[in-house]
Structures are given as structure tokens and as C-alpha cells.
Amino acid sequence: MLEQQIVYVVSDSIGETAEFVVRAAASQFDSGHYEIRRVSYVDDEDSIKEVVLAAKEVGGFIAFTLILPSLRNAMMDYAAAAGVHVVDIMGPMIDAFRTVYKQEPKLRPGLVHQLDEDYFRRVEAVEFAVKYDDGRDSRGLLRADVVLIGVSRTSKTPLSMYLAHRRIKVANVPLVPESSPPDELFQLPVKHIIGLTINPDELNLIRQERLKSLGLTPQASYAKYERILFELEFADKIMKRLGCPVINVSNKAVEETASIILDLMKRGGHTI
């Protein structure tokens, strides 16, 4: 027996249904040997082909919930050609409803979660905010509803999470003089970017408290007043270059700043 067997769960929606079924089945075996890899929101044949090849490479199989017949057929065809075992979880049940009750399916992915659409959009937005927090992956900037920029400790991360719970996909980028902003930032429409600034005295206090909480000396360069002025000047130049709106977060609660951001987004034509 292999040390670990891998099951790929493929869906054109979140993939919860398929994963639940797979886990229920795996519980009847030595579940410690099984790894479930979920591949969500599959909507093209190339993605299907990639998963099939991955499953073949590890000697695993695929369980899938694909609603569109074209994608279901593509999965069956690619898997057969590669010799990969697949389990169509949703297809036979849809066919049964069609056959017995003489009705045609809507063929719209994700309807099982329609009542909880807001919840799942919120989950997706939170996952997005975590993935693209603090400039981790600049590719996410082009997919974000809004991008927050500013120096360290201007509430970029708390605001990203707050807005994510409003189902808004937020990425944020720290502006640091020693590092040029990512090229993707300058490819965005101005309405997708919001700058955050802060009073230097307040930022100085915030950074000193941050250093104390980390057990570091407040005299570190991070909290020095000259350094803070240097960073704020650098950020101001970038924001002026971009031409984006700028919010001064000094003495503002996250909720208050978020309300201003939402208003700016509405005025910019975003659907919120």
C-alpha cells in the first residue's frame, strides 16, 4: 500500500458537496492514508486536463461535481485516455431527475448554495484577502475589487478583512521606500486603488506600541520619526503618481474608514 493516497475533488463551484461525499467514503477505510485535494471553480477543459494529469502522476482518482455536460464529457474523455478512475457524483442524480420527472436541469453551477450565496461570497472574499495580504502576490491586484496602499500600520489588513466580510475582494500593498511598487499596481484603473495615509505623530505612537508588543526596543528604526516622515513622503509621491483617492486614517476606527472606502467604490461605479 502507498503511504498516502490522493483523491482530487473537482467542482465548477466550491466543491463542498463532492468533498463531503469523498470524506464520508474515506471514513470507511484507514482515513489517515488519504489526502483530499479540492480544485474549485473549474470552468474550462485545460483545468480538467491538468487535474487528470496530476491524478495520473500520483496514482489517485477524481471525484467531481460538474454541471455543464461539456465539462462532464471532457472529464470522462480525458480521464479515460489517461487511465484515471473518475466518479461523477452529480451527473447520475441530475439524469435521474430528468428521466423520471421529465424536466430539464438549469445547468447552473452552485445552485445548491443559492440561499447561502452571500455566505460563500464572503468566504471567497476572506480567502482572497488572506492570500493577497501585504503584497504577497502581485498577480492578485488585477483580480481585486479594490487595492489598498499605504505605509505599514495604516490599517490595510484590518480594512481588507472588514471589507471581505462585505463580500469585497481586497488586496493590499505596503509602500516601502526600499522596494518599488509592483508593476500591476500601475495597470489598474484609478477607481480600483485607494491610498491610506496617517498623521506622523499617531503613526509614531502606533509603531512604538507595536515594537513593545513584539518585545523590541521602541528606538528601532521602524518607529523613528525621521523614518516615518521619509516613508510617508515616499507613499505620497506614489499616490500622486497614481492619481488615486487618499484617506487619512488618523483617529479613525476601521469601520469609519471602511464606510468611506465603500462610498468611494460606489461613486466609482462598483457594484457593492
My answer on whether 71 and 149 are in the same domain is: no
Which pLDDT score is estimated for 268?
82
Q: Indicate the annotated binding residues.
A: 150-157
pLDDT for 95 equals 79
Strands in 86-88's sheet, in edge-to-edge order, are: 34-39, 5-11, 61-65, 86-88
Q: Are residues 135 and 99 located together in one domain of the fold?
A: no
Same domain membership, residue 227 and residue 100: no
Distance of CA 6 to the CA centre of its chain: 24
Q: Is 150 helix (H, G, I), strand (E, B) or coil?
A: strand
- In angstroms, rounded to a whole number, what is the distance separating the alpha carbons of residues 21 and 233? 55
Q: What is the predicted pLDDT for the residue at 216?
A: 84
Which grid coordinates belong to 51?
Answer: 487535474
131 with 82, same domain: the answer is no
Domain span at 91: 5-109
Q: Give me the CATH number covering residue 155.
A: 3.40.50
Asked whether residue 272 is domain-assigned, the answer is no
CA 263, CA 180: separation in Å to the nearest integer? 29
Same domain, 93 and 219: no
Q: Given this model, what pLDDT does residue 115 score?
A: 46
Kindly report the CA angle at 121 between 116 and 126, in degrees rounded to 5?
Answer: 125
Q: Which of 109, 142, 162 is the last residue of a domain?
A: 109
Q: Do residues 173 and 141 touch, judged by C-beta distance below 8 A?
A: yes
C-alpha cell at 229: 516622515
Residue 165 belongs to some domain of the structure: yes
Q: Are residues 133 and 38 in the same domain?
A: no
- In 3-state terms the chain splits into helix, strand, coil percentages (rounded to 5) of 55, 15, 30
The pair phi, psi for residue 220, each rounded to 5°, is -60, 155
Residue 201's pLDDT is what?
Answer: 97
Q: Quick one: pLDDT at residue 106?
A: 66
Q: Are residues 122 and 54 part of one domain?
A: no
Contact present, 97 and 40 (Cβ < 8 Å): no
**Of 59, 80, 109, which residue constitutes the final position of a domain?**
109
Specify if 226 maps to a domain.
yes
pLDDT of residue 2: 45
Domain end point (choices 84, 109, 134) = 109
DSSP character at residue 136: S
The reported pLDDT for the residue numbered 113 is 47
SS3 label, residue 72: helix
| Whole-angstrom distance, CA of residue 247 vs CA of residue 240 | 13
Residues 162 and 234 in one domain: yes
Q: Which residues contact 222 (CB under 8 A, 6 or more apart)?
A: 152, 207, 210, 211
Please report the pLDDT score of residue 1 as a whole number.
41
Residue 188 lies in a domain: yes
Which triple of cell numbers denotes residue 234? 515616499
For residue 25, give the CATH number of its domain: 3.40.50.2300
Q: Mean pLDDT, 10 residues at a time, over the chain (272 residues)?
A: 76 84 84 81 92 94 90 94 93 82 70 58 90 93 97 96 94 96 96 97 94 84 95 98 97 95 88 58
Do 138 and 249 belong to one domain?
yes
* Feature table: binding site for ADP: 150-157
Residue 126 lies in a domain: yes
| The total number of structural domains that make up the chain | 2
